[in-house]
Structure 1
Amino acid sequence: MNKVNDILSLIDGHIGGSQWFVFLLLGTGIFFTIYLKFPQFRYLKHSVRIVRGKFDKEGDKGDTSHFQALTTALSGTVGTGNIAGVALAIHLGGPAALFWMLVTAAVGMTTKFVEVTLSHKYRETASDGSIAGGPMYYMKNRLNMKWLAGIFAVATVLSSFGTGSLPQINSISNSLFQTFGINHILTGAVLAILLGLVIIGGIKRIAKVTSTLVPLMAAIYFIGAMAVILYNYENIIPSIMAIIGQVFTGSAAVGGFLGGSIAFAFNRGVNRGLFSNEAGQGSAPIAHAAARAHEPVSEGLVALLEPFIDTIIICSLTGLVLLSSGVWTEKMENQFQEADLFVLTDTYSDKNEADKETLYNYLAGETQLSQYTGDLMVVDGIIQDQPTVIHARSVAEEVKVWVNKQAYNGELVFSNGKLVNTNSVTLTGKSLMHSAPLTTIAFTRSWFGEYGKYIVSIGLLMFAFSTAISWSYYGDRAITYLFGVKGVVWFRLVYVVAFFFASFADTTIVWTLSGITIALMTIPNLFGILSLSKEMKNEVKLFWEEYARRFPGEKIPKG
């Protein structure tokens, strides 16, 4: 597993985790924001009106309403990125990572507006009468680049697993195990059956389910988050100051947190921001292509609301929950995951300022430290002459080794810091936590007390499950493009099976895989929409001309 994760991390480091990818993503959003004169601010109120059906015409073609398309797309974005992704970003980069998530969302509103408009314009009707749309269709029908459309479609199928299926059930099963002690395999089996029952009905059944789930899950999560934030009201202002104030200074070491660099906060904030709202990835246009609309820009305006709801509102709530509660800097008792664990040759303490600086520089990639190779003797679960154990980017404390819940006696073999002979051993101790388990603990720091964790578990269950539902549709539209409708049933079968197996896979590997598949979709899509920038501007002009004719008394945005 460690070798697989190392390979995936290397690949991710050159694409989704690289600086050039971040600049490409943000640069595209900034370009369209300026080129179209800040549509995310000027058109926002019109977006709400269109969702309510104001611009509809009798006989508009499509499979879903504007609201159903919006909730389907939102169910694809409001998921583990909002709960686990925010926690992971802050764990890696500190409070400033949340700032960059919000910046990504602001420019992402324009990116999503553009990609949805162009995809809706060039959608097609499949052989079974359903609507088929997405970036692959404008790539084929407008750019005449079938090869690029093929790359995007294949990447979409891969991303339906890397974004929609694997990390979602992984976070659900981890959260339910943490909260209720429910076995991972049992969670995976039950939810895989439910998933299969929903997606077999296609977009119409999916839209009905998501249009009910999304408003309900948003309300539950909002109540729980506000309970934490208001309970820790004295930390609200300091948390906001940390988010803004550490943007250009980096995050200092606090508690078990060893500090985060400016570059790392920027990179992880943008990366997790994209994972949360998927602006530029080309996924949401597939859902919006099914909406009943006679004019593509109207659906683009509906999509403009997604990053605002998903990231600016929901991710901000999660971020303030984590920061105001203080859990992001606290070491807690937990079971160590191998991919997050390594051992250094020498001994360091996070109580010593010089050691903290050394470890910070090491984690930031600025210096190298010797990683332990050799045997360590374990007696009654205690590692003898224990060197520094790093877990979840923090110095682990009170480390114990177990086999079948019994204290282990024997040797542990390490090579370059990684455990070699697992012998079914598990390591526990105190360290920082991240992803869904961290958010779960944060929600207990309110008037709800221990009951707060149930809000996260229920919210995560609904968020992540609805995301998996939507991504199954994205994948089956990509399969329809590649192989026709005959391939959809096989895709759905594999999707459900993979969903089950991911319920007990390693969390770190799942998140690394998701970063790769995001990049494989995003790069072709960004290239495509940049190529059609002039056409996009013309479409916007034509839309407002029609809007003015239909509603002569209304004030129309200029430009």
Structure 2
Amino acid sequence: MKKNILGCLCFLGYLKGTAQELQSFDQKINTGFKNMTDWFVDAIFAEIPITSEVGTPWVLVVLLMGASYFTIYFKGINFRSFWTSIRIIRGKYDALENSEILEVSESVHTTDGDQPDTVRAEGEIGEVSHFQALTAALSATVGLGNIAGVAIALSIGGAGATFWMILVGFLGMASKFVECTLGVAYREVTEDGTVYGGPMYYLSKGLREKGFSKLGKVLAAIFAIMCVGGSFGGGNMFQANQAFKLFEHVTGAENSFFYGKGWLFGLIMAILVAIVIIGGIKKIAKVTDKIVPAMVVVYVLAVITIIVINYQIVPEAFMSIIDGAFSTKGVTGGMVGVMIQGFRRAAFSNEAGIGSASIAHAAVKTKYAASEGLVALLEPFIDTVVICTMTALVLIITGQINVGAEISDEQGVLLTANALESGISWFPYLLSFAVILFAFSSMISWSYYGYQAWSYLFGRKKYVSYIYKTIFCICVIIGSAASLNAVTDFSDAMIFSMLVPNMIGLFILTPKVATELRKYKKAIANSN
């Protein structure tokens, strides 16, 4: 016992010493890493020229085209089925899951090949409820992008970017519906009831059904590799780093006890993350179904307070959004530039079309794949239409936006903090608390995404799981202690490169989604 305690203390001391050296080590990492990764980052975020002054990343064009196509194909399901989604969350159709007649996707199998009917006779497939699956996925998308990202978009594109941000939020609902329906339809279940799902499985199994077996395997492997890389960077180190920067700022900046002690903040976060992620999706869902509503309520209440205090300016703010959206003037190339900034922020915030959310939704307890797809379409609405729009309103009415200014993510967070402070002096502390919750929830959900991809590549043995989770927790400390810009840029690029294999699969498997939707609608009609 004493040896174990001594060993732990030595390990913590080693971590402390290592973390304190990370600042100098960071420069060496960035120097060596930059040349190797610049080509990849530049390729993913390469811009297509739209006008002589404005260009847009090609990944954004793909996401928008996909979202528009799915909206048209499913006849505006993002609008027509909105209230059905609410009813599913409220348990209106729970009786369908308990009916004796089992109408399920023929694609769902356990790892030993059992048909789903047999498995469901033995017990219900899935690990979490509809609400828990939604909050687990939301915890990964609702984060610093809703705070810092919105400030950056408005600083470049002005208030009008908000209008286009809302539009893309609505379109993204259709993409979420498609990918999350497929996530459930092609999931796998082990003998102990653990669910494995996501693009890796619907790409490999779904495309095999269509006669593209080799293509499916290649796309699934590419997606999994990119997902693992993204989970370590954008889903982990970036979140920890930005949370620490704001925490350090509101606790006194250079006078803060935590000043220069990112390793300590990271160590605390890493311990909390480890406690949660060791328990798998069930434990993650039990945390996120409490944290996500809490953090959204805390943040939204703070924002609403500022809006109420400045209620006289709200009509003017809305007018500036409308006028700015269709203005032909501006530093970003007029209307097109403003449109691109709104599109960029919305697409990058809700991640619709990336495929990551389908991993969490695949674990839901249901026998109708489309039911979870309908639940998932609420994500972009909550993330972009509600939270991003409220952040934009606060920034506009408090006059924090300086159009044309180039700002960083850290400065974006501070702009929102200043906007909240203009109403009530202690609100930045509330924002700091919300940001830490945002970062924490994003990390635990992305750990699940990354592990699912990791297990697809390396197997489902216990030690494989522990290796991934150990690396993930170490990355929390590194992310807090250092400014690994090259690494996080590369990881962000990996996240958005996930859309390439995912979108190919979504387009090919769209008819499968339509079949699942008809099946679920028929079940609802028969229950009335």
Tell me the TM-score range normalised by the shorter chain.
0.7 to 0.9
Aligned to 1:493: 470
5+ residue gaps, structure 2 = 1-26, 48-55, 99-122, 209-215
Q: Which residues of 2 match residues 97-496 of structure 1 at below 5 A? A: 97-126=161-190, 129-144=193-208, 145-180=216-251, 181=256, 182-183=258-259, 184-249=262-327, 252=330, 262-329=335-402, 393=406, 434-446=411-423, 448=424, 450-486=425-461, 487-496=464-473
Change (3 A) 1:212 1:300: same
Can you list the C-alpha shifts for 1:196-230, whole angstroms capped at 9, x where unaligned? 11111111111111111111111111111012222
Which of these two proteins has the greater Rg computed from alpha carbons? 1
Change (3 A) 1:121 1:433: closer
Aligned to 1:76: 140
C-alpha separation in 1, matches of 2:302 and 2:324: 27
Aligned to 1:545: 522
Give how far 1:161 is off.
2.0
Q: Counterpart of 1:30 in 2: which secondary structure? A: helix
Instruction: Tell me which moved more, 305-314 or 240-249.
Output: 240-249
Instruction: Tell me which moved more, 221-230 or 116-125.
Output: 221-230
* Corresponding pairs, count: 448
Give how far 1:49 is off.
1.1
Q: Counterpart of 2:207 in 1: which secondary structure? A: coil
Aligned to 2:71: 33
Change (3 A) 1:265 1:185: farther
Change (3 A) 1:157 1:167: same
Instruction: Tell me which moved more, 513-522 or 276-285.
Output: 513-522
Amino acid at match of 1:203: I
Change (3 A) 1:170 1:433: closer
Change (3 A) 1:436 1:507: farther
Are 2:197 and 2:358, in contact at CA under 8 Å, matched by a contact in 1?
yes
C-alpha separation in 2, matches of 1:459 and 1:497: 23
**Could you tell me the TM-score, scaled by structure 1's length?**
0.75
Instruction: Tell me which moved more, 190-199 or 535-544.
Output: 535-544
C-alpha separation in 2, matches of 1:498 and 1:113: 32
Are 2:40 and 2:490, in contact at CA under 8 Å, matched by a contact in 1?
no
Are 1:16 and 1:518, in contact at CA under 8 Å, matched by a contact in 2?
no
Which of these residues, 82, 92, 95, is aligned with residue 159 of structure 2? 95
Aligned to 2:129: 65
C-alpha separation in 1, matches of 2:193 and 2:450: 18
Are 2:198 and 2:356, in contact at CA under 8 Å, matched by a contact in 1?
yes
Give how far 1:460 is off.
0.6
Amino acid at match of 1:46: T
C-alpha separation in 2, matches of 1:199 and 1:433: 27
C-alpha separation in 2, matches of 1:508 and 1:443: 28
Change (3 A) 1:244 1:49: same
C-alpha separation in 1, matches of 2:318 and 2:518: 39
Amino acid at match of 1:215: P
Q: Counterpart of 2:147 in 1: which secondary structure? A: helix
C-alpha separation in 2, matches of 1:251 and 1:9: 33
Amino acid at match of 1:93: G
Can you list the C-alpha shifts for 1:490-545, whole angstroms capped at 9, x where unaligned? 11111111111111333865663354122211121111101112222222222211
C-alpha separation in 1, matches of 2:487 and 2:418: 22
Amino acid at match of 1:152: F
Aligned to 2:43: 14
Sequence identity (%):
41
Are 2:71 and 2:174, in contact at CA under 8 Å, matched by a contact in 1?
yes
Are 2:85 and 2:374, in contact at CA under 8 Å, matched by a contact in 1?
yes
Higher normalized helix content (fraction of residues): 2
Give how far 1:105 is off.
1.0
C-alpha separation in 1, matches of 2:382 and 2:134: 11
Is the counterpart of residue 53 in structure 1 residue 91 in structure 2?
yes
Are 2:229 and 2:491, in contact at CA under 8 Å, matched by a contact in 1?
no
Amino acid at match of 1:393: E
C-alpha separation in 1, matches of 2:310 and 2:263: 36
Are 2:158 and 2:338, in contact at CA under 8 Å, matched by a contact in 1?
yes
Aligned to 1:43: 81
Higher normalized strand content (fraction of residues): 1
Can you list the C-alpha shifts for 1:134-176, whole angstroms capped at 9, x where unaligned? 0110111110211111111111111112331022111100110
C-alpha separation in 2, matches of 1:149 and 1:506: 31
C-alpha separation in 2, matches of 1:244 and 1:90: 13
C-alpha separation in 1, matches of 2:395 and 2:429: 16
Give how far 1:128 is off.
5.3
C-alpha separation in 1, matches of 2:237 and 2:371: 33
Aligned to 2:103: none
Change (3 A) 1:11 1:435: farther
Amino acid at match of 1:525: N
Are 2:246 and 2:410, in contact at CA under 8 Å, matched by a contact in 1?
no
Give how far 1:476 is off.
0.7
Amino acid at match of 1:481: Y
Are 1:133 and 1:285, in contact at CA under 8 Å, matched by a contact in 2?
yes
Aligned to 1:554: none
Give how far 1:235 is off.
3.1
C-alpha separation in 1, matches of 2:316 and 2:523: 48
**Could you tell me the TM-score, scaled by structure 2's length?**
0.80
Change (3 A) 1:511 1:233: farther
Q: Counterpart of 1:143 in 2: which secondary structure? A: helix
Are 2:60 and 2:347, in contact at CA under 8 Å, matched by a contact in 1?
no
